[in-house]
Structure 1
Amino acid sequence: MGTVKRAHRRGASALTLLCAMAILTAPGLGLSGTAHAAPAAPSVPGAPAAPTPEPGAKSLEQIRKEIEDLYRQAGSATDAYNLAESETKVQSERIVQIAQLIVAGRERISGLKDRAGAAARAQYRSGGLPAGARLVLSDSPSQFLDSKDRLRQGEKATTDLLTELDRTQHDLQRYAKDASTVWQKLETNRVEREKSKKRIEEKIKAAQDLESKLEAEEKARLLQLEQEAQYKAQTQWLSSGAMKDVSGKATDAGKRAVQFATAQVGKPYEWGATGPGSFDCSGLTSQAWLAAGKAIPRTSQEQLRLRKVAVKDMRPGDLIIYFDDASHVGMYVGDGAMVHAPRPGRDVTMAGAGSMPIKAVVRPDA
C-alpha cells in the first residue's frame, strides 16, 4: 500500500514522461523493474481552456472520443490486414513446396515408365515367351531352379514397380488437391487484405477529416484532452495496487529490446510499417525484439499467443496487449511506463503502462 501512496504523490508531482525517458536512457536504462512512477498531470503549452460548444454542436471531448474510436477501428483492421499478409506469405511458400513435389513426382513417374518399358522390350527380345513358359521348357534342373528364383525376383520387381507407380500417381493427385486448397486460401486472404485496407483507409480518413476541421487552438486542446484521459486511466490503475509488487528485472535481451524501442521515440506512426522511419504498434514491438535477437509474430493478435505472465511478474521488455480485441500493443520499459506507436497522426512515445485497458502481458523471451 505504501508503494501505491508514493505513486500517487509522484503522480501529483512535476515528474513527466520525459523524465521517465531520461531515466531509461541513463546508465542502467532504468530497467530495474521498480514500478512506482505515475505520469504527471499533462499540460500542453499555450493550450486554451475548453471553449463552450454551440447548442447542438459536438463538444471537443465528444470529438476526441469519436476520433479515438475511429483509430481504434483502424487499428483492429490493421491487425487483420497484417495477419492476412503473414498468412499469405506462409501459403505462398507452401505453394512453392507443392509445386516442387509435383515436379519431383512427375519425374518419378517418367522414370518408372521407362523401367516398365525396358522390361517389356527385354521380354520382346526373348521371343515374347512368358517367363513361366521358359521355366517349364528348361532342360537343366539347376537352370530350372535358378530361373525359378529369378522369376520370383522379376515378379516382385514388377509388383513393386506397379505399386510405386500407383502410389506416385496418387501423391500427385493429393498434391494437386492441396495446391487447389492453398490457392483458395490465398485468394480469400487477398480479398480480406483488400477489405481490411479499405476499412483502414476509410476510418483513418474519417478521423483525419474530423481533426482537420478543428482550429489550431482546438487541436492543441484535443491533444491535452488525450493526455488527460491517459493520465486519469494511469492514476486509477496505480490506485488499484496493480503495480504494488512489480519488481522484475530485464534480461539482457529485454534491455536490448527496450533500447531499440525507446530509440524510436519521435518517429511517426504508419499503419503496416516496421521501420526504420515509421512504425505501427506491433511493427515497433516485433522489430525491437528482432533487434534483441528474438523473432516474434508480426501482429498484436499473434503476439498475444506468446507466453502470458501476471502483471505482478512483469519486467522490462515484456509486451502489454491492450483492448479486448488485442488491437494495440506496447512494450513495458519499467517504472510503470511503456513505449508504443499510438495511432496515425501521433509519434512513437512514452506513456503510462495502465493508460489503456490491459488485456494481457506476454513475454517474448520466456
Structure 2
Amino acid sequence: MRGDFSRLQSRRRTLMVRDRRWPRVVSHRRNRVLRSVAAAVAFAAVLSMPPALAAADPGPGPAPEPGGTVAQVRALSRQAEVITEQWKLATDRLDARRADADRAHSDAASATAIADQVRAAQSSFRAQVDRLTSASFEGVRVSSLTAMLISDSPQQFIDQMSALDVLAASNRAAMDKLAAAVSRTEQAKLAATDAETRAAVAELDAARIAGDVAQARLEMGRQINLVQERLGKLTSEEFSHYASEGFTDYPIDIAGDTIGIRALRAALTRQGAPYIWGAEGPTTFDCSGLVMWAYRQVGVSLPRVAYDQSRVGTPVVSGLLPGDLIALYSPVSHIGIYVGNGLYLNAPQSGDVVKVSRVPWRDVTAVRRIG
C-alpha cells in the first residue's frame, strides 16, 4: 500500500513539471473541460477583435499560477515598471526645461549685445543730428530769398540753394537713422527682458521638476528593492511560474528592409539579455530601453519613455507588420516590437530576460509604425 502511495505521489510530481519555454497543463479530465470552455470564450473574443489583431492571436494564454505569491510579485514588478517610466519622464522634462533655460539665457545675451550695438549707433546718429542742428543755428540755414540777395552771380545762387538742399536732406536722413536706432534699441531691450524672464521661469520649473525626479527616484529604488527581496524568496517552482512565457532563440534572419524590420533584427540579437529597470543597452534593458536601442541602431532616435514612444510614428489599425511598436496598458507603461504571428519581442520584467512572447492583446492600447 505504501509503495502504491509513493508511486502515486511520484506520478503527481511528474505531472506538475513545466516546460521552461511554453507552459504545460496537467492533462486530466476536468482541465480539458475547462480548456474547452476557455477556448470557446477566447474564440468569441477573437471574433470581436479588429481583423488584423484577431488573425495574429496565437491562442489561449499561459496556465494558471500555483498560488497568489507569484501574482503579488508580478504586480509589484509592474508597479516598479510604472514608477520607473514616471522617473524617466520626469528626468526628460527636467532636461527639457534646463535646455529651455539655457536657450533663454542665450537669447538674452544676444539681445543685450544687439542693444549695445544699436545704442552705439544711436549715439553716432545723435551726434550727427546735433552737428547739423548746430550748423543751422550758426547761419547755414539760409532762406532762398536771402541766398538770392547775397549772391554775386546766378551760379553762386544755385550753389547756395544746392547747399541748402543737401543740408536739409542730411538732417532728415540723420533724424530718420536716429529714430530707427532708438526703436531698435528699445526692441532689443524688450527682447532681452523677455528672454531673462523666460530663463527665470524655466529655472524655477527645473528646480521643481528636480524635486519630482528625486522623489520618483526614491520611490523607484524602494519598489525595486521590494521586488528583488520578494523574488529572492520565491521557490524554484514559483519562479518558473513568475518568469514570463516565451523563448530566446527566435530566428534573426527576418526578410525585408523596412526601418521597422531592420530595428527588429537588431533587437533580436539581444535575446536573453537581462531586464534591468531603466537600462538602455547594450547588455541590459528595460522595455522602452530595448525599443530605443533597437531603433537607434538603424539611425532613428526615439524617446526613452514608453508613453512617448507610443505616440511617435503613425497609428496602425490593421495589417500589423514586423517592427511595429506594441504598447500596453493605460497609461502606457510597457512596450515591445511586433515580430509577427501574434508574437512580440520585449523586455518583460525584473528577474526575466529579453524574449519573444505572445502579444497580450487584451492589454494592447496602441500600435505604432516608425518610418
Given that 2:84 and 2:278 are in contact with CA atoms closer than 8 Å, whether structure 1 keeps it comes out as yes
How far off is 1:281 after superposition?
Answer: 0.5
Quick one: which of 182, 189, 206 aligns to 1:162? 182
Calculate the aligned-residue CA RMSD, in Å. 3.1
When residues 40 and 149 of structure 1 are mapped into structure 2, their CA distance, relative to the original with a 3 A threshold, is: closer
1:80, 1:130 → 2: CA distance?
73
How far off is 1:183 after superposition?
Answer: 1.1
Unaligned runs of 5+ in 1: 1-13, 19-33, 44-48, 51-60, 231-248
Query: Equivalent residue of 2:134, what SS?
Result: coil
Quick one: which of 313, 331, 335 aligns to 2:319? 313
- Tell me the matched-pair count: 299
Query: Equivalent residue of 1:83, what SS?
Result: helix
Instruction: After superposition, give the CA deviation of every residue in 1:141-182 in whole Å (9 maximum; x if it has no partner).
Output: 221122111111111111001000000000001001111121
What is residue 196 of structure 1 aligned with on the other side?
Answer: 216
Given that 1:304 and 1:326 are in contact with CA atoms closer than 8 Å, whether structure 2 keeps it comes out as yes
Given that 2:259 and 2:370 are in contact with CA atoms closer than 8 Å, whether structure 1 keeps it comes out as no
How far off is 1:15 after superposition?
Answer: 11
Structure 1 residue 150 corresponds to structure 2 residue 170: yes
2:220, 2:369 → 1: CA distance?
29
When residues 113 and 15 of structure 1 are mapped into structure 2, their CA distance, relative to the original with a 3 A threshold, is: closer
What percentage of residue pairs aligned between the two structures are identical? 21
When residues 295 and 96 of structure 1 are mapped into structure 2, their CA distance, relative to the original with a 3 A threshold, is: same
What is residue 292 of structure 1 aligned with on the other side?
Answer: 298
How far off is 1:222 after superposition?
Answer: 3.2
How far off is 1:210 after superposition?
Answer: 2.0
How far off is 1:252 after superposition?
Answer: 2.4
2:22, 2:299 → 1: CA distance?
28
Given that 1:135 and 1:148 are in contact with CA atoms closer than 8 Å, whether structure 2 keeps it comes out as no
Give the partner amino acid of 1:201: G
Given that 1:250 and 1:316 are in contact with CA atoms closer than 8 Å, whether structure 2 keeps it comes out as no
Structure 1 residue 86 corresponds to structure 2 residue 92: yes
Structure 1 residue 104 corresponds to structure 2 residue 106: no
Quick one: which of 329, 335, 345 aligns to 1:339? 345
What is residue 77 of structure 1 aligned with on the other side?
Answer: 83
Given that 1:250 and 1:317 are in contact with CA atoms closer than 8 Å, whether structure 2 keeps it comes out as no
What is residue 115 of structure 1 aligned with on the other side?
Answer: 121
2:340, 2:137 → 1: CA distance?
86
Instruction: After superposition, give the CA deviation of every residue in 1:308-350 in whole Å (9 maximum; x if it has no partner).
Output: 212x421110111111120000111112111111122221112
Structure 1 residue 208 corresponds to structure 2 residue 228: yes
Given that 1:17 and 1:350 are in contact with CA atoms closer than 8 Å, whether structure 2 keeps it comes out as no
Instruction: After superposition, give the CA deviation of every residue in 1:39-86 in whole Å (9 maximum; x if it has no partner).
Output: 89679xxxxx95xxxxxxxxxx32222222222121112112212222
**Higher alpha-carbon Rg:** 2
Q: Relative CO higher for 1 or 2, CA cutoff 8 Å, sep ≥ 6?
A: 1
Which segment is superposed worse, 169-178 or 82-91?
Answer: 82-91
Q: TM-score, length-normalised on structure 2? A: 0.72
What is residue 221 of structure 1 aligned with on the other side?
Answer: 238
What is residue 39 of structure 2 aligned with on the other side?
Answer: none
2:238, 2:20 → 1: CA distance?
21
2:196, 2:285 → 1: CA distance?
40
2:230, 2:103 → 1: CA distance?
48
